[in-house]
Chains A and B, each alone.
Chain A
Amino acid sequence: MRLLYALLLLLVPVLGVYTFVTADQHGWWFPDNVSTYGPSIDRLFYLIQAMVAITFIGTEVLLAWFMYKYSKRRDDRGVFSHGNHKLEMVWTAIPAVLLLVIAFAQMGTWAEIKFQKGFPDGEFSMDRPIAEVVASQFDWRAIYPGEDGVIGTMDDLENPFEFVVPVDEDVVFNLRSRDVIHAFFVPQFRLKQDALPGHTIPVWFNATEEGVYDLICAELCGWGHYKMAGRVRVVSRPEYDQFLADLDQEWFSNGMEEVQ
């Protein structure tokens, strides 16, 4: 019986590690990254994983081993010990250092993604965002500024469901919600940001591969939360310009018919 329990406890690190190692083959791992800051997020994940794995395997194996070794029936008494000051200092200091490493290792990436001071300042910037992405129960729409480059004016172009952006460019957009809290999540971009009613939140990313990506609402927003799907389409610059021209055409002509 002792062996059974010890093996059971040992199964946790063994199967745990096995699952993580083989997860990629089963598709139980990260979706491919297509953003510029994605790799540093993934690197951080793997750095933490390395430290966690060592601690995990070490402590779980010790636990299983102790449970096996010291559950043997014996007539004598156990070790009469209330602790060991030196040992405890060691196992306090080492994790403390490791944790500080983790804390400092991530600050740069966090600042790069979130601090507005460091936001891209090219064609698209916090002053001239590419578009405003508006969430509401249960859909997404992208509002492009039109020719005047200013959002909230008569020539705005509204594209429901799909947010189209040019590839390999720093894209800054404003995120808004009309009703409750939603969240803008594109797994391949490693990007998630809540859309907060009453606030306009600037967000940036740089997508490195053309393609169509699921835009997922990641904050509970009501009964239809599960179907609040959108799309981010990353296209080449010419295609992007064409898209805007088409949208302008569509929006403009529709508008004229209504006026007449």
Chain B
Amino acid sequence: MTPPPPPPPNGHAAAPPIHGAPHVAPGEGAPGTVREHHEDHHELGFLRKYVFSVDHKVIGIQFLFSGLIFMVLGGLMAMAIRWQLAWPWTEMPVVGRLLFPQTGKVISPEFYTVLFTMHGTVMIFFVIIPLLTGAFGNYLIPTMIGAPDMAFPKLNMFSYWAMIPAFVCGMAGFFIEGGAAAAGWTAYPPLSTIESAAPGSMSGQTFWLLALTFVGLSSMMGAVNYVTTVVKMRAPGLTMMRLPLTIWALFIAALLQLFALPVLTSASIMQILDRVADTGFFTPTNLVVNNLTPDATGAAAGGQPLLWQHLFWFYSHPAVYIMVLPAMGFASDILATHARKPIFGYKPMVYSMSAIAGLGFIVWGHHMFTSGMNPKLGMTFMVSTVMIALPSAIKVFNWLGTLWGGRIRLNSPMLFASAFVSMFIIGGLSGIWMAATPVDVYIHDTYIVVAHFHYVVFAGSVFAIFAAIYHWFPKMFGRMMNETLGKLHFLGTFVFTNLVFYMMHQLGVAGLMRRTADPYAYEVYAHLQPLNQFISMAAFSLFIWQLFFVVNFFHSLFFGKRVGRNPWQACSLEWAAPSPPGHGNFDRELSVHRGPYEYAAPEADEDYQPQWEK
């Protein structure tokens, strides 16, 4: 009853990315893999195997590809924003004719609001969260804990397929009357609930909310799966305190999603109801918008715009940690592996991540210091926000401690991971200014905030994603990425990222507001245009520089050097599986004998002692 292993569809080399990847094991270095053993399931059709797959590796790679595609789209929107900020109301070269024929090749103010709304939405909900938890969460959780798959494979499949309506609804706005949502990614009512308030608040906003709801559904299904899998399916001997920090981070992020997402999902359904059924949860009484008195603002409305802000940030602040905790986990694993050293202070790392997550639930009000909420509440949120810097600081010191005395290999994953630390320091420290309520009165909604969260989410999380791709690509696709291209990619990305985002701090200190299409109309901002032009040039370079990554990724997918199971001589369990792992991941019984970071032990034969070896 053992059918022969399925032949690769077109031969490995020419196989399209997803095809060639997880099931077929090309170039498996170890001879005599017991492939028959773990592939003795029924032959699956193409659709079941690669599209409606229940295999966590295929689902992870689906998330990876959709995330990277949307990253290009979100990046293009950022480029358009930078064009407008550097040269407002001027004709956009080359693409202007295609995109804005009605407005004379110029970005209209309406479209500018759409641009930054959708840039934020796409990057947060379609790129960063799906890449960290969807792509790497799916791929790494079972492989790093020695499990054959997720606890609920079908639920896992649905969690990706819930993203499809999210993508469709998210993009639908661009093709309907009034255009896409334009109330910012924060969607503050009444701007977002009253149709006459903005063109994007016609149907575009409803579609945006539907997209958000589907993303929430997807993440919740994913989170249930991750938590269950980590709790129930660890290999024998793999205690919680032997888990790699990546798994701890993904586990904690999943808990955050489980507890915080229902609130956002309820809130977005409430906002949908406000828009389609005039429920008036968030709309106060007696507004006059655009010289109209909308129905829902009649005497019966009685809603409260601040309610949305509380509900929204109750999720969206923990979401920031959902976007950075897994990145911290990746960085920890990659730093330890390529510095050939155990993590410095493993337990404090786990406790500090838990503390960040715990405190993360009671800091949301720091987004609302100037919103008009009770200033005493502001003071409370200030204290919790200031204290959350402490576990973050501990993590940074422990990363430095990990590097100290190591034998560092300067390869692409290591470069990106160390840059993650460097960039996270900046993003973390600038947060302290914002936590200080009186200072925040001045810098709230200025470019300091923009610099701050881009340092955390772009220079932090995206750098960690790059590091993770360079690090786990050999496992995912059985081939190495090109080192020269990887290093080139790093050099330019690092330089341009800092030129773009560091200088935004200066704009912010000068008081420049975010979300303004043409700030130079104000006298206080007029002198900031040259700096904005400089930033835009750097941003365009940053975008173009990513070609090195795209070329490297696709070239390596087909022509990269084949590798065996453990090209980095790493200790965690995923490296015990073939590269790429077949169905069921592991071709032998696993038992775990030690923690995940036993590098450089003096008494051992090698400078690493894998978890699975006695």
Contact = CB atoms under 8 A, between A and B. Distances in A.
Interface in B426-483: 426, 429-430, 432-433, 435-439, 441-442, 444-445
A106 B429 CA distance: 17
Contacts of A116: 375
Contacts of B109: 223-224, 226-227
A99 interface: yes
Contacts of A11: 498
Contact of A178 (B287, B403, B607): B287
A137 interface: yes
Contacts of A139: none
A28 B421 contact: no
Interface residues of A, number: 100
Interface in B534-589: none
B502 interface: yes
A115 B437 CA distance: 12
A196 B188 CA distance: 11
A237 interface: no
B405 A79 contact: yes
Given A19-B506, A180-B190, A220-B184, A110 B437 contact: yes
B515 A79 contact: no
B524 A194 contact: no
A132 to B, nearest CB: 15
Contacts of B184: 220
Given A29-B510, A81-B341, A229 B522 contact: yes
Interface in A80-125: 80-84, 87-88, 91-92, 95-96, 99-100, 102-103, 106-107, 109-111, 113-116
Given A23-B506, A179-B289, A198-B285, A91 B393 contact: yes
B190 A78 contact: no
Contacts of A27: 510, 527-528
A214 interface: yes
Interface core residue of A44, A56, A226 (most chain B CB under 10 Å): A226
B188 to A, nearest CB: 6
B17 interface: no
Interface in B274-297: 284-290
Given A30-B511, A187-B524, A197 B370 contact: no
A222 interface: yes
Interface residues of B, number: 114
Interface in A1-37: 1-2, 5, 8-9, 11-12, 15-16, 19-20, 23, 26-31, 37
Interface stretch (A59-67, A159-167, A250-258): A59-67
B405 A70 contact: yes
Nearest to B384: A103
B535 to A, nearest CB: 11
Contacts of A229: 521-522
B453 to A, nearest CB: 16
Contacts, number: 325
Interface string B340-368: 11111111100000000000000000000
A242 B531 CA distance: 42
Contact of A225 (B113, B289, B397): B113
A56 B197 contact: no
A249 interface: no
Nearest to B394: A92
Contact of A190 (B429, B436, B442, B515): B442
A227 B375 contact: no
Contacts of A81: 341-342, 344, 401, 405
A63 B397 CA distance: 10
Nearest to A96: B390
B244 to A, nearest CB: 15
B78 interface: no
Given A56-B425, A59-B425, A91-B394, A114 B389 contact: no
B410 A2 contact: yes
A216 interface: yes
A197 B284 contact: yes
B407 interface: yes
A196 B389 contact: no
Contact of A78 (B113, B341, B426, B444): B341
Given A95-B390, A223-B198, A178 B515 contact: no
Given A28-B509, A110-B379, A222-B197, A183 B522 contact: no
Interface in B232-249: none
10 contacts: A83-B398, A92-B348, A92-B394, A110-B382, A111-B375, A180-B191, A196-B372, A223-B109, A223-B199, A227-B518
Q: Which A-B residue pairs are the 4 nearest by beta carbons? A: A198-B284, A79-B405, A28-B506, A187-B511
Interface of B: 108-110, 112-113, 182-184, 188, 190-191, 194, 197-199, 284-290, 303-306, 339-348, 370-372, 375-376, 378-379, 382-383, 386-387, 389-390, 393-394, 396-398, 400-401, 403-410, 415, 418-419, 421-422, 425-426, 429-430, 432-433, 435-439, 441-442, 444-445, 491, 494-495, 498, 502-503, 505-507, 509-511, 513, 515-519, 521-524, 527-528, 531, 599-602, 607
Given A9-B422, A183-B370, 6 more contacts: A45-B442, A59-B396, A81-B344, A83-B346, A113-B438, A222-B191
